[in-house]
Amino acid sequence: MNPLQNLEKMVEDYVRQLAEETDEFRKSAAFKEYLDTMSRFWQYSYNNQLLIHVQKPNASRVAGFRKWNDFGRHIKAGSKAIKILAPYAKKTKEKDTLTGEEKEVVRTYFWPVNVFDISQTDGKELPKIDIEVTGDSHKNVLDKLLAYCATRNITVEFKDLGINGLYGYSQGGKIAIDSKQAVNMQVSTLVHEIAHELLHQSPEGKKFSKNEKELQAESTAYVVCKSLGLNPKSPNYLVLYKADKDKIMANMEIISGMAKGILEYTNGKISIPAILTISTSQIFNSVF
Ligand SMILES: [Zn+2]
């Protein structure tokens, strides 16, 4: 077997392994507990989401005073409440303008309600899903990935992305990576964002759903990290985007093509642009 066939087999084995691990995590008690907790948070309307954003742009998880107490957390002294509008129904008697008859009608009114962001509370930890890759051992790979980005005209900026678990993002020709993260997490994030750049900026790539995009990007990060000897927690991330074994396997060609392209470059073999290894028909033959 030549080295390229070896790479191909290794990459496909890792995609299969990821598919198995993701299904296992979906069935785990840890994931069930996480879902149970998250389902107890109210889903706010679009208008209330706007109100929250205007008053506290970094808010990530918001609930009322009593709900936080139920979770074993309390509001820190001096925290400024976020005001949202809660609907309530009120029965009133109104005269029918035509018949003059009095009848009961139900009207909806809005009332300001105080909520607080998780950053304004402390106490018992909420169940969390660990998605971080730890350690600083792979600085040399990070440098190679940056060189790879330069060949693709992608600029990479390291900056503080705040407190809300945002590790990085891609904007079309530009990637930002959280400077606070461990080097190995930056490696994983950079691979994830490179996959978004190369797979999801074209008109065809933009047609994928958010869940499909995350599946393809994070699976690529998993395969690259695994082959570098890192311990990625991608199954934990992927279940948040409704991925399962079948969906991952249906994206085998896209994921392995992308991962191979990056690994061929970082391993210093050949610098075939990864995007050329994936044809549009392959992208659209993947079933979702
Ligand atoms: Zn992403």
Distance from the CA of 126 to the center of ligand 1, in angstroms? Answer: 23
pLDDT at residue 271 in the model = 41
CB 61 within 8 A of CB 117: yes
pLDDT at residue 17 in the model = 97
d(CA 96, CA 93): 10
pTM: 0.77
Assess whether 270 and 186 both reside in one domain.
Answer: yes
Distance from the CA of 74 to the center of ligand 1, in angstroms? Answer: 32
Distance from the CA of 91 to the center of ligand 1, in angstroms? Answer: 47
Assess whether 218 and 117 both reside in one domain.
Answer: no
Distance from the CA of 281 to the center of ligand 1, in angstroms? Answer: 23
pLDDT tens readout for residues 128-180 = 889 999 999 999 999 999 999 999 999 999 999 976 668 999 999 999 999 99
Assess whether 153 and 261 both reside in one domain.
Answer: yes
Number of helices followed by number of strands (H, E) in the chain: 11, 8
Q: Classify each residue of 6-16 as buried b or exposed e, where b means 16 or more C-beta atoms within 10 Å of its C-beta.
A: ebeebbbebbe
d(CA 85, CA 45): 10
Number of domains forming the structure of the chain:
2
pLDDT tens readout for residues 207-237 = 999 999 999 999 999 999 999 999 999 999 9
Assess whether 114 and 132 both reside in one domain.
Answer: no
Assess whether 143 and 117 both reside in one domain.
Answer: no
Q: How far is CA 63 from CA 66, 119, 125, 137, 271, in A?
A: 8, 11, 15, 39, 50
Distance from the CA of 207 to the center of ligand 1, in angstroms? Answer: 15
Identify the residue with better confidence: 3 or 200. Answer: 200
Assess whether 76 and 161 both reside in one domain.
Answer: no
Distance from the CA of 132 to the center of ligand 1, in angstroms? Answer: 14
The answer to whether residue 78 scores a pLDDT higher than 90 is: yes
Name the phi and psi angles at 83, rounded to 5. -95, 125
Query: Residue 270's pLDDT band (boundaries 50, 70, 90)?
Result: very low
Query: Residue 288's pLDDT band (boundaries 50, 70, 90)?
Result: very low
Distance from the CA of 40 to the center of ligand 1, in angstroms? Answer: 25
Structural domain that includes position 117:
62-123
Assess whether 110 and 195 both reside in one domain.
Answer: no
